[in-house]
Amino acid sequence: MTSDTPAIPDEPGPDPHTRTGTRIDADTGTGTGGGRGISRKTLLRAAVAAGAAVPLLATGSIALARDAARSAAGRPLPPTPSCDDGDDPTPDQMEGPYFRPNSPPRTDLVTPGTAGTRLTVSGYVFGRDCAPLAGVLLDFWQADDAGAYDMAGYTLRGHQFTDATGAFTLRTIVPGLYPGRTRHIHVKAQAPGEPVLTTQLYFPGEPRNSTDALFDPALLMNVRGAGGGREGSFDFVLDVDGDPAPTDPPTGPPNGTWATGRSYAAGDAVTYGGGSYRCLQAHTSMAGWEPPNVPALWRRES
Ligand SMILES: [Fe+2]
């Protein structure tokens, strides 16, 4: 572990982002943008999340299925930040000094020795048109319960890919605080063949949210207690065209020459560009994820 008391604060400087879309109240996590009706894309988004039914809360806001389920207990819920015709892409934030490349593929960062409050973060990744994006690389890293980043290993670091519905789930802990920053989780998001979005996710109700110059309420998760731990949700909107994710990829033998739209499993062998590669984790191939480009997915063997 590395002492996380940098000579200069991690990710210093003023918030470089100007966001004119929906604002989320820093203390409550509730939207304050107002004035926006229920758009076609919001309906699409909710329908994607719900599978079929589109729940409508008493406030008139559409919520994701996971929120609607909890509303059944009678507890009022804040609206989930929506992705609609007027939404901006998720704002970027500085990487900071603690990113390490080549994190392991995993959705659960908690090990038996991990201290801290358990936290599950889930959500979806959409393109600008609110079509869900499959196969988006999400690389998370964060401080441990004591506010320290592991710079020698990969504790509390891991990457994953959104599934065919654009969904992701991360199991981790609530990150600790360290000097100069409010509570946050770092993440890089990259749709196949698209630029990387580097940003950070924040927690509502944190006293330091009002003093951290980097804090952006557009990056607040919805967070709620859940059986001694916490559950957070956040939906990314990437600045990409958002072509609908392939829902019915072609089938066929996975081995042979690498091709797009194939379902590859760990251990599959392919050739590409004169080289041989071994699949490291199951995924559906897409343009931009050619084996030489994604060492997290393919290991060159010859
Ligand atoms: Fe940080």
Ligand 1 mean position, distance from CA 223 (Å): 19
CA of 93 relative to ligand 1 center, distance in Å: 11
Calculate the dihedral angle through the C-alpha atoms of 283, 285, 287, 293, rounding to the nearest 10 degrees. Answer: 60
Q: Measured between alpha carbons, how far is 64 from 235 in angstroms, rounded to an integer?
A: 10
From the CA of 89, how far away is ligand 1's center (Å)? 21
Identify which of 117, 107, 163 has the alpha carbon closest to the alpha carbon of residue 140.
107
Which regions in the chain score pLDDT beneath 70? 1-87, 242-254
* CA of residue 112 to ligand 1 center, whole Å: 23
> Identical fold at 85-237 and 256-300?
no
Rounded to the nearest whole angstrom, what is the distance from the C-alpha of residue 67 to the centroid of ligand 1? 28
What spacing in Å lies between the alpha carbon of 51 and ligand 1's midpoint?
35
Which phi and psi (to 5°) does residue 13 adopt? 105, 165
Q: Separation of 135 CA from ligand 1 center, angstroms?
A: 25
DSSP codes of every residue in 160-207: EE--TTSEEEEEEEPPPP-TT--SEEEEEEE-TTSPPEEEEEE-TT-G
96 CA distance to ligand 1 centroid (A)? Answer: 6
pLDDT of residue 254: 55
Separation of 64 CA from ligand 1 center, angstroms? 29
Q: What is the pLDDT of residue 161?
A: 97
Query: Structural domain boundaries of the chain?
Result: 85-237, 256-300
Q: What counts of helices (H) and strands (E) characterise the chain?
A: 2, 15
- What are the tens digits of pLDDT across the range 121-167? 999 999 998 899 999 999 999 999 999 999 999 999 999 999 999 99
Ligand 1 centroid distance, CA of 141 (Å): 8
Residue 287 pLDDT: 78
CATH topology of domain 85-237: Protocatechuate 3,4-Dioxygenase, subunit A (2.60.130)
CA 98–ligand 1 middle distance (angstroms):
7
Task: Measure 94 CA to ligand 1 centroid, in angstroms.
Answer: 9
Instruction: State in Å: Cα 91 to ligand 1 middle.
Output: 16
Q: Which CATH architecture has domain 256-300?
A: Ribbon (2.10)
How many angstroms is it from 150 CA to the middle of ligand 1?
A: 11
110 φ/ψ sector (left φ>0, alpha ψ -120 to 50, else beta): beta
Cβ atoms of 222 and 238 closer than 8 Å: no
Ligand 1 centroid, distance to 33 Cα (angstroms) = 28
